[in-house]
C-alpha cells in the first residue's frame, strides 16, 4: 500500500544508488511535486552527493561539505541523521507520509548518530562535541541536548549504512521546543554544491518554506560500501514541504485573504432566490491552477551541472498528476510520461530557467493516496498540579492484518511515569470498549527509568494492534517540582515533551517490488506539560519575611533582657535625665514661649 | 514605654506670666515626681553579661561562619615571581649562536689564529650583546674535510663554515647551500691570516659574511626583546605584522572558489603531496599542520564589494589594490575555521568566470596577495578555448603548480619565517629562535597580567588548577631561559611552548570570572533585612554599656 505512493521515487533512488558505484564523487538532485487534497501541494526535494571514504578521511572535500565533514571526523561520527521539522502532517487528508516517514523528524530538532567510541562515556563525550559543533553550524540550540535529553534507543533505529566498526554507539536527542526558521535554512543551503544558485535548490526561499503547513529538512550521512568498488560516504539532504496553494499564491505585500468578487461567484441556480443579491455559492469542482513562479516566488534557474550523467537535466523534476491533466512547461524542456499513467518527469534545459504552469482544470481522475497503516495520537490527560496521565491511541484501519510496531518515547526527568499503571483498552469496530491484559498488546518492554537532573525516561514498547481495532494505552505520571533556577523564562507556557516515534515492522512481506527494506516511521505531535510554577520573586520575599520574624523575636527577647523596668510614674524622672528627655523638655519650653508671645499680642 | 506625663502636666500651666510661673511649676513638679530606686549592681552586671554574651556569639560564632560561607577560594600565587618575569628581571634572554668552522686543509695553529681574529672582528661589529656568535673549530675538522652527519645535524650548531682552499681567487667567495645550514667559503691560500698581522682579508670576509647572514635575525630578536621599541627596517616590521601568532598546530584549508559550475575538481591531493609536503615536513620541529581542501562552486562576490573592471590596455579584468580587502565574501563563502585548537590559515584559489577572465590586480598585474594573519589568495586564469569560452572542468596538477608555489611562499610569510637568506633550514633555525623569544616574552607577560588581575580584583576566586598552571609555567620559563643561555634552541622552544599553553590556560580559567558579575545591590538586598533590625538594638546596647563603663571608670 505504502509502497505504491513512492514507488517511482524509490525505484529511481534504488537505481541511482546501484549505478553510483563507479565514480568516487558524484551528485544527484531531484524534485517531486504532488498536488494533495484541500489545495495543498507536496514538494519533495532531494540532494545526494558522495565522496570516497579515502578522500573523506584525508579531508579532501569536493561535493561533500567541508564544514560538516570536519565535524563528523572530529566527533568520530560514522552515521548522522539530523531533522528540522515544523507543522503537522495531516495523515487523514494527505495519506501516508513521504519517504515512509523515514526523512522526517520530531517537531523541532531531532538528531541521532552512530558514534565510534570504545565505551559509553567516550561515546557521550563525542556526542556532546557533535551537538555543540552542529549547533554552531546550523544556528540551532542543539547544544542544549545534554544528558537529560539523550537516550540510547534499543530497537527503534537501525543503521542505514554499511559499517565495519563493532564499537558503534547509537545516541538520540530531541529538542521539541526548537523553532525551525530561516537561519537554519541558510546553512542547510550552504552545504549544497550548487548553493541554491542553480538547479532545483534555487526554488528555496525562507519566506515560502517556513510558511508551509508542514515542512521537514533532513540531513543523512552514512557510509555506503557497494559490493564492487570502494566505500563511499554519502550525504543526502531532503526537504519535504506541504504548501497551501491559495496561501502561497497571495502576493507577499498583500497577504490578507479576500472574498471572491461577486461577479466571479458561481451560484447554485437550483435554489430559489427572493432577490438578485443573494447567492448560494457552489463548491469548485475544478482543481486549482498554479505555477512554480506563483508558488515559490521564483523559477528553477537551470540545472546544477554536476551530475555525471551525459544529460544533466534528465528527470530532475517529476510531477504526480494524471496524464490527462494539462501542463505547460518552459520552451526547451521536454516531458517524459511514466507508464503508470499518474506521473511524468521533465528534462530541463541546462542553462535556461524552467517554469511549470498547471492551468485550472476539471478533475476527472485523482492520484490515489495511500491510507497510512496506523494512526497514532498522544495526549496528556488529567488535571491538577501534581499528577497527570498519558493517553496514546493507536488505530489500525486495516480489516485483515495486524500491525506490529515499536513505540519509543523519551520523557523529561520531571515527568515521572508509573509504569505499573500501564493500562490497555481495546475498541473493535463494534464500538465496545474492553480492558485487556497489557501482555496481550505489549509484547516487549524496554524501560530505563529517569534519574533526577541526569537522564530522562526511555520507554520502548513492542506493540501489536489487531486488525480493525483501536487500542488505547494509558499510564499515570507525577510532575516533579523544579528548583528555582531550573525554570526557563517562559515557565508558564509549559514544558515540551518530545513526540513519540513509532516504527512499523513487518512491511517487508507486502512490498515485493523493491529490494531493500525500509521501515515506516510515524511520529506523534509534541506535547506541552504544565508544571507548577512558583512566584519568581519568592527568594526575596522569603528573605524579607524570615528576617522580619527573626528581627521581631530577637528584638523583643533582647529588650526584655537588657531593659530596666520601673513603675510608670517613675519613668518620667528617668526620661528627663536622658538625652531624649532633655530634648523633649527643650521643645516644650520653646513651644510654651511661642504660645506665651502669642497671648501677649492678644 | 515612657509615659508623656510631662507634656500633660505642663500644657494647662501656660497662663499670663509664662517665665515665672513656668519655672516655679517645673521645680515643684520635679520634686513631686517619684525617682526610682537606684539600680541594683546585680542587675547592671546581668545586663553587662547579656550584652557581652550576645556579642561573644556574634564575634566568635557568627563572624567565622559568615566568613567561612561567603569567602572565596584563592590559591596562593607567587606574585612577586610572576611580576619579575613580566618585568624581565628573572631572565635576560641571550642567544649565543655556535658556529662551527671546518678548515680541513688548514694547519691547526693557522686555523686557531683565523678563529681568534674572526671572532675579534665579529665582536667588534656586534652592537647587540644578547645575540652573539661564538666561533668554534670542528673537532674532526682536521681529518679529510668530510663533515660527519651528526655534527652537521646537531641542534645547537647554528651554522657550519667550511673553508675550501681554491687557487686563483682575488678575493674570498662564499656560498650558502640552499638545503643545509652550511656556508662554503672559498679562499686562496695566501689570504689566510699570518701571525704578524692582527687582521687578514679572510677573517674580515668571514666576519662580514656571518654578520650579513644573521643581520635580519638579530634585528628581529632585538625588536622582540625590546617590546617593539627599536626601529626596524620596513621589511621586517611588515613581516612581523603579517605573521600569525605562534601555535602548536595550524590548520591549512585550501579552497577552490569559482563563480560558476566549473572547474568542479582539482588535483589537489597530488599538488599538496608534491609542492607542499616537503615544506610542512621541514616545519615539523616547530609546528604541526593539518590539511583539508574543499571545492566551492557558485561563489559570488559580496554585493557591496566593488566589481572588477575591464581595462583595455591590459586586456584584463582588474581589481583595484585597495579593494582587495573586500574580495573575500566572508558572509557567504564557507571559510569557517577548523575544529580543534590552533588557528586556521586559508588559501583561496579563485578561478574567475570565463566572462571575467583573465583577472589581475590593477596596479601591478599580480595574481596573488596575502591577507595578513589570515591567509592568501591566488587568482588562477586557466587558458580558455576561443569559441564558446568555458573553464575546464578539472584542474590538473601542472596547472596548479604556480598556485601552490605561491601558497608555499605565503605560508612561509604567514608563519613569520625571515626572508633572508636563501637556505630554508637556516631560516627555519632562525624561526625557532624567534619563536622561542616570542613565546618566552608572551608567557612572561601573561604571568604579569594574571598577577595584576588577581591583585586588582580581590573578589575573584583562584582555583588550585590556576596555581598549578602558574607553577608549571614558571618552571618551564626558567628552563627555557637556561636552554637559551646554553644555546639549545629547540629544547628552549619546546619548553616555551609548554609555558605558553599553561600560561594561557591559567589566564583564561573560566571559573575565575563568575563572581565578578555578582552585583553589590544583590548583597545589600540579602543582608539588610536581617542586619538592620537585629544590628541596631545590639549596637545601641553595646554603646550604652560602654558609656556606662566609661562613666564608672571616670567616677572612680
User: Between A394 and B424, whose confidence is greater?
Assistant: A394
Q: Which of B157, B156, B191, B162 is nearest to B176 (CA)?
A: B162
**Interface contact flag, B33 A540, Cβ < 8 Å:** no
First CA to last CA distance, chain A: 115
Top-ranked range on mean pLDDT: pick from A25-29, B103-107, B410-414? B410-414
- Determine the 3-state secondary structure of A316 from DSSP: coil
Write the pLDDT tens digit of every residue in A344-354. Answer: 888 888 888 88
DSSP percent split of chain B into helix, strand, coil, nearest 5: 50, 15, 35
Alpha carbon distances (Å) from B139 to B103, B104, B113, B143: 10, 10, 16, 9
Q: φ, ψ for residue B238 (rounded to 5)?
A: -65, -40
Where residue A516 falls among pLDDT bands split at 50, 70, 90?
very low
Same domain flag for B342 and B254: yes
Q: How many Cβ pairs closer than 8 A exist between chain A and B?
A: 151
**Which of B269, B299, B529 is facing A548, going by the closest CB pair?**
B529
Same domain flag for B104 and B158: yes
Say if CB A137 and CB A131 are below 8 A apart.
Answer: no
Per-residue cell: A38: 484541500
Alpha carbon distances (Å) from A285 to A93, A365, B355: 17, 12, 52
Angle separating helix axes B489-507 and B464-485, nearest 10 degrees: 160
CA distance linking residue A177 with residue A396, whole number of Å: 30
Which residue shows C-alpha cell 566593488?
B306
DSSP character at residue B162: E
Same domain flag for B489 and B502: yes
Say if CB B410 and CB B347 are below 8 A apart.
Answer: yes
Top-ranked range on mean pLDDT: pick from A22-36, A68-82, B103-117? A68-82
User: Between B137 and B473, whose confidence is greater?
Assistant: B473
Give the per-residue pLDDT at B185.
81
**Which of B50, B334, B529 is facing A544, going by the closest CB pair?**
B529
Q: Which fold, A375-529?
A: Immunoglobulin-like (2.60.40)
In a mutagenesis test of the B interface, which of A51, A56, A58, A59 is the best target, namely the one with the most B β-carbons within 10 Å? A59
Give the per-residue pLDDT at A362.
80
Where residue A471 falls among pLDDT bands split at 50, 70, 90?
very high
Residue B35 lies in a domain: no
Same domain flag for B345 and B260: yes
Same domain flag for B393 and B289: yes
In a mutagenesis test of the A interface, which of B4, B5, B18, B262 is the best target, namely the one with the most A β-carbons within 10 Å? B18
Q: Which of A170, A168, A129 is nearest to A146 (CA)?
A: A129
Q: In chain B, count of helices (H) and strands (E)? A: 17, 15
CA distance linking residue A458 with residue A111, whole number of Å: 16
Same domain flag for B284 and B195: no
Residue in A with minimal Cα distance to B268? A60
Q: Please state whether beta strands B95-102 and B131-137 pair in parallel, antiparallel, or not at all (unpaired).
A: parallel
Which residue shows C-alpha cell 521501515?
A519
In a mutagenesis test of the A interface, which of B7, B13, B14, B335 is the best target, namely the one with the most A β-carbons within 10 Å? B14
User: Between B282 and A109, whose confidence is greater?
Assistant: A109
Residue in A with minimal Cα distance to B291? A59
A474: enclosing H helix or E strand: strand A469-479
Same domain flag for B292 and B398: yes
Q: Any idea where the domains of chain A sit in the sequence? A: 2-252, 375-529, 542-593
Burial of B139 (0-12, 13-18, 19+ CB in 10 A): exposed
- What is the residue-averaged pLDDT of chain B? 80
**Which of A561, A564, A588 is facing B7, going by the closest CB pair?**
A588
Query: Per-residue pLDDT for B262 more than 90?
Result: no
Same domain flag for B480 and B535: no
Q: What is the mean pLDDT of residues B212-219?
A: 81
DSSP percent split of chain A into helix, strand, coil, nearest 5: 25, 30, 40
Give the per-residue pLDDT at B294.
92
Say if CB B376 and CB B407 are below 8 A apart.
Answer: yes
Q: What is the mean pLDDT of residues B492-499?
A: 90
The domain boundary, picked from B220, B237, B260, lies at B220
Q: What is the mean pLDDT of residues A429-455?
A: 91
Q: Residue A394 forms beta bridges with which residues?
A: A376, A471
Neighbours of A464 (CB within 10 A): 17
Which of A:66-105 have CB within 8 Å of B?
Answer: 66-67, 69-71, 74
Same domain flag for B84 and B64: no
Q: What is the mean pLDDT of residues B390-417?
A: 89
Q: What is the mean pLDDT of residues B369-373?
A: 90
Query: Per-residue pLDDT for B476 more than 80?
Result: yes
**Which of A305, A573, A596 is facing B36, going by the closest CB pair?**
A573
User: Between A435 and B262, whose confidence is greater?
Assistant: A435
- Does A183 contact B at CB distance below 8 Å? no
CA distance linking residue B349 with residue B197, whole number of Å: 60
Which of A:527-556 have CB within 8 Å of B?
Answer: 540, 543-544, 546-548, 550-552, 554-555
**Interface contact flag, A574 B261, Cβ < 8 Å:** no
Say if CB A359 and CB A289 are below 8 A apart.
Answer: yes
User: Between B136 and B554, whose confidence is greater?
Assistant: B554
* Contacts with A310 from chain B: Cβ below 8 Å: none
Query: Per-residue pLDDT for A237 more than 90?
Result: yes
Total count of domains within chain B: 4
* Residue numbers of the domain that contains B346: 246-414
Give the per-residue pLDDT at B188.
76
Buried b (16+ CB within 10 A) or exposed e, A146-173: ebbbbbbbeebbeebbebeeeebbbbbb
Same domain flag for B282 and B377: yes
- Range with the lowest mean pLDDT among A112-116, A229-233, B51-55? A229-233
- Does A567 contact B at CB distance below 8 Å? yes
Residue B5 lies in a domain: no
Give the per-residue pLDDT at A1.
40
What value does the CA radius of gyration of chain A take, rounded to a whole number of Å? Answer: 34
Nearest-neighbour CA in chain A from B117: distance (Å)? 55
Same domain flag for B440 and B479: yes
Where residue B87 falls among pLDDT bands split at 50, 70, 90?
confident
Top-ranked range on mean pLDDT: pick from A397-411, B186-200, B233-247, B417-431? A397-411
Nearest-neighbour CA in chain A from B533: distance (Å)? 5
- Range with the lowest mean pLDDT among A13-22, A226-235, B401-410? A13-22
Q: What is the mean pLDDT of residues A231-260?
A: 87
The beta strands (E) that lie in A328-428 are given as: 328-329, 334-337, 344-347, 353-354, 356-358, 361-362, 375-381, 387-396, 403-411, 415-428
Alpha helices of B137-294 — where are they, by DSSP H?
Answer: 149-153, 201-213, 215-225, 234-242, 268-271, 277-282
Give the per-residue pLDDT at A385.
87
Rounded to 5 degrees, what angle do the CA atoms A67, A69, A75 make?
Answer: 105
Residue in B with minimal Cα distance to A303? B261
CA distance linking residue A354 with residue A296, whole number of Å: 12
In a mutagenesis test of the A interface, which of B10, B36, B258, B524 is the best target, namely the one with the most A β-carbons within 10 Å? B36
Same domain flag for B307 and B441: no
Give the per-residue pLDDT at B26.
46
Give the per-residue pLDDT at B16.
43
Query: Per-residue pLDDT for B144 more than 80?
Result: no
ipTM of the complex: 0.78
Query: Per-residue pLDDT for A599 more than 60?
Result: no
Give the per-residue pLDDT at A513.
43
Give the per-residue pLDDT at A13.
44
Give the per-residue pLDDT at A350.
80
Write the pLDDT tens digit of every residue in A556-569. Answer: 888 888 887 777 77
Say if CB A61 and CB A51 are below 8 A apart.
Answer: yes
Amino acid at each position: 500500500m505504502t509502497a505504491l505512493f513512492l514507488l517511482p521515487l524509490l525505484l529511481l533512488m534504488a537505481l541511482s544508488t546501484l549505478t553510483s558505484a563507479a565514480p568516487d564523487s558524484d551528485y544527484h538532485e531531484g524534485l517531486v511535486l504532488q498536488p494533495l487534497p484541500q489545495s495543498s501541494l507536496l514538494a519533495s526535494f532531494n540532494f545526494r552527493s558522495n565522496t570516497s571514504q579515502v578522500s573523506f578521511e584525508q579531508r579532501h572535500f569536493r561535493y561533500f561539505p567541508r564544514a560538516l565533514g570536519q565535524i563528523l571526523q572530529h566527533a568520530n561520527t560514522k552515521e548522522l541523521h539530523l531533522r528540522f521539522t515544523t507543522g503537522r502532517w495531516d495523515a487523514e487528508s494527505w495519506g501516508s507520509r513521504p519517504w515512509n516517514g523515514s526523512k522526517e523528524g520530531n517537531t523541532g530538532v531531532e538528531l541521532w548518530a552512530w558514534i565510534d567510541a570504545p565505551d559509553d562515556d567516550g561515546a557521550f563525550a563525542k556526542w556532546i562535541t557533535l551537538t555543540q559543533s552542529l549547533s554552531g553550524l546550523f544556528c540551532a540550540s542543539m547544544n542544549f541536548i545534554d544528558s537529560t535529553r539523550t537516550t540510547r534507543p534499543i530497537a527503534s533505529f537501525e543503521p542505514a549504512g554499511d559499517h565495519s566498526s563493532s564499537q558503534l554507539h547509537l545516541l538520540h536527542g530531541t529538542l521539541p521546543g526548537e523553532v525551525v526558521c530561516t537561519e537554519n535554512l541558510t546553512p542547510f543551503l550552504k552545504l549544497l554544491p550548487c548553493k541554491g544558485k542553480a538547479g532545483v535548490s534555487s526554488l528555496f526561499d525562507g519566506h515560502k518554506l517556513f510558511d508551509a503547513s508542514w515542512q521537514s529538512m533532513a540531513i543523512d550521512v552514512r557510509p555506503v560500501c557497494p559490493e564492487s568498488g570502494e566505500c563511499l560516504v554519502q550525504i543526502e539532504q531532503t526537504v519535504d514541504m506541504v504548501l497551501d496553494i491559495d496561501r502561497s499564491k497571495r502576493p507577499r505585500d498583500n497577504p490578507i485573504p479576500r472574498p471572491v468578487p461577486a461577479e466571479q461567484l458561481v451560484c447554485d441556480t437550483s435554489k430559489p432566490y427572493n432577490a438578485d443579491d443573494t447567492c448560494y455559492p457552489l463548491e469548485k469542482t475544478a482543481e486549482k491552477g498554479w505555477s512554480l513562479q506563483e508558488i515559490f516566488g521564483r523559477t528553477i534557474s537551470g540545472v546544477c551541472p554536476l551530475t555525471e550523467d551525459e544529460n544533466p537535466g534528465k528527470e530532475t523534476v517529476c510531477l504526480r498528476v494524471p496524464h490527462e491533466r494539462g501542463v505547460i512547461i518552459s520552451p526547451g524542456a521536454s516531458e517524459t510520461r511514466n507508464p503508470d499513467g499518474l506521473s511524468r518527469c521533465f528534462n530541463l534545459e541546462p542553462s535556461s530557467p524552467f517554469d511549470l504552469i498547471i492551468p485550472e482544470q476539471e478533475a476527472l481522475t485523482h492520484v490515489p493516496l495511500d491510507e497510512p497503516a496506523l494512526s497514532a495520537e498522544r495526549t496528556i490527560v488529567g488535571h491538577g498540579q501534581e499528577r497527570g496521565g498519558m493517553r496514546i491511541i493507536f488505530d489500525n484501519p486495516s480489516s485483515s492484518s495486524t500491525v506490529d510496531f515499536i513505540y519509543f518515547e523519551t520523557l523529561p526527568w520531571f515527568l515521572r511515569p508509573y509504569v505499573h499503571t500501564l493500562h490497555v483498552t481495546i475498541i473493535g469496530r463494534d464500538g465496545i470498549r474492553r480492558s485487556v491484559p497489557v501482555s496481550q498488546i505489549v509484547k516487549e518492554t524496554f524501560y530505563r527509568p529517569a534519574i533526577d537532573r541526569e537522564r530522562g525516561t526511555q520507554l520502548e514498547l513492542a506493540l501489536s494492534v489487531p486488525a480493525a481495532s483501536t487500542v488505547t494505552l494509558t499510564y499515570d505520571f507525577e510532575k516533579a517540582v523544579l528548583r528555582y533556577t531550573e525554570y526557563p523564562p517562559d515557565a508558564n507556557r509549559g514544558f515540551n515533551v518530545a513526540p513519540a516515534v513509532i516504527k512499523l515492522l513487518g512491511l517487508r512481506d507486502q512490498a515485493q517490488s523493491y529490494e531493500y527494506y525500509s521501515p515506516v516511521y510515524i511520529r506523534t505531535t509534541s506535547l506541552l506539560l504544565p508544571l507548577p510554577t512558583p512566584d519568581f520573586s519568592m527568594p526575596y520575599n522569603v528573605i524579607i519575611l524570615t528576617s522580619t520574624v527573626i528581627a521581631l523575636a530577637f528584638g523583643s527577647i533582647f529588650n526584655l533582657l537588657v531593659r530596666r523596668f520601673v513603675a510608670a510614674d517613675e519613668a518620667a524622672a528617668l526620661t528627663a535625665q536622658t538625652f531624649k528627655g532633655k530634648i523633649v523638655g527643650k521643645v516644650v519650653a520653646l513651644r510654651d514661649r511661642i504660645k506665651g508671645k502669642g497671648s501677649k499680642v492678644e | 514605654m515612657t509615659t508623656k506625663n510631662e507634656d500633660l502636666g505642663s500644657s494647662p500651666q501656660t497662663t499670663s506670666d509664662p517665665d515665672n510661673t513656668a519655672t516655679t511649676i517645673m521645680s515643684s513638679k520635679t520634686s513631686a515626681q517619684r525617682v526610682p530606686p537606684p539600680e541594683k549592681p546585680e542587675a547592671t552586671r546581668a545586663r553587662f553579661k547579656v550584652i557581652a554574651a550576645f556579642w561573644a556569639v556574634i564575634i566568635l560564632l557568627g563572624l567565622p561562619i559568615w566568613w567561612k560561607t561567603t569567602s572565596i577560594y584563592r590559591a596562593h600565587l607567587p606574585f612577586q615571581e610572576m611580576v619579575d618575569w613580566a618585568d624581565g628581571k628573572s631572565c635576560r634572554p641571550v642567544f649565543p649562536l655556535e658556529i662551527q668552522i671546518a678548515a680541513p686543509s688548514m694547519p691547526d695553529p693557522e686555523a686557531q689564529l683565523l678563529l681568534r681574529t674572526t671572532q675579534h672582528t665579529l665582536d667588534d661589529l656586534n652592537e647587540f650583546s644578547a645575540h652573539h656568535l661564538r666561533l668554534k673549530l670542528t673537532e674532526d675538522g682536521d681529518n679529510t674535510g668530510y663533515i660527519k652527519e651528526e655534527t652537521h645535524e646537531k641542534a645547537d650548531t647554528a651554522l657550519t663554515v667550511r673553508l675550501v682552499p681554491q687557487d686563483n681567487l682575488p678575493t674570498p667567495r662564499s656560498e650558502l647551500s640552499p638545503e643545509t645550514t652550511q656556508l662554503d667559503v672559498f679562499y686562496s691560500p695566501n689570504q689566510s691570516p699570518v701571525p704578524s698581522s692582527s687582521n687578514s682579508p679572510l677573517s674580515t670576509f668571514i666576519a662580514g659574511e656571518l654578520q650579513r647572514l644573521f643581520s635580519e635575525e638579530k634585528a628581529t630578536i632585538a625588536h622582540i626583546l625590546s617590546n617593539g621599541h627599536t626601529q626596524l627596517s620596513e621589511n621586517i616590521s611588515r613581516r612581523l605584522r603579517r605573521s600569525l601568532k605562534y601555535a602548536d598546530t595550524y590548520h591549512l584549508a585550501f579552497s577552490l572558489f569559482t563563480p560558476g559550475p566549473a572547474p568542479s575538481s582539482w588535483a589537489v591531493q597530488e599538488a599538496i603531496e608534491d609542492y607542499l609536503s616537503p615544506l610542512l615536513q621541514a616545519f615539523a620541529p616547530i609546528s604541526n599542520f593539518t590539511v583539508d581542501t574543499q571545492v566551492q562552486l557558485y561563489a559570488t562576490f559580496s554585493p557591496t564589494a566593488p566589481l572588477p573592471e575591464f581595462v583595455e590596455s591590459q586586456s584584463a579584468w582588474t581589481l583595484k589594490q585597495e579593494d582587495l580587502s573586500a574580495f573575500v565574501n566572508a558572509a557567504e563563502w564557507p571559510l569557517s575555521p577548523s575544529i580543534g585548537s590552533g588557528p586556521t590559515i586559508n588559501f583561496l584559489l579563485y578561478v574567475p568566470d570565463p566572462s571575467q577572465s583573465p583577472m589581475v590586480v590593477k596596479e601591478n598585474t599580480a595574481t596573488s596577495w596575502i591577507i595578513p594573519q589570515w591567509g592568501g589568495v591566488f587568482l588562477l586564469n586557466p587558458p580558455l578555448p576561443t569559441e564558446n569560452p568555458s573553464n575546464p572542468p578539472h584542474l590538473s596538477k601542472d596547472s596548479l603548480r604556480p598556485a601552490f608555489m605561491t601558497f608555499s611562499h605565503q605560508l612561509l610569510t604567514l608563519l613569520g619565517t625571515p626572508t633572508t637568506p636563501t637556505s630554508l633550514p637556516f631560516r627555519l633555525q632562525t624561526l625557532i629562535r624567534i619563536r622561542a623569544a616570542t613565546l618566552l616574552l608572551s608567557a612572561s607577560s601573561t604571568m604579569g597580567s594574571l598577577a595584576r588581575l588577581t591583585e586588582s580584583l580581590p573578589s575573584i576566586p583562584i582555583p588550585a588548577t590556576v596555581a598549578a598552571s602558574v607553577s608549571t609555567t614558571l618552571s618551564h620559563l626558567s628552563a627555557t631561559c637556561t636552554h637559551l643561555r646554553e644555546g639549545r634552541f629547540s629544547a628552549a622552544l619546546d619548553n616555551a611552548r609548554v609555558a605558553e599553553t599553561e600560561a594561557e590556560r591559567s589566564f583564561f580559567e573560566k571559573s575565575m570570572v563568575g563572581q565578578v558579575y555578582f552585583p553589590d545591590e544583590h548583597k545589600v538586598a540579602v543582608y539588610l533585612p536581617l542586619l538592620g533590625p537585629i544590628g541596631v538594638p545590639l549596637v545601641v546596647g553595646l554603646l550604652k554599656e560602654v558609656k556606662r563603663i566609661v562613666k564608672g571608670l571616670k567616677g572612680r
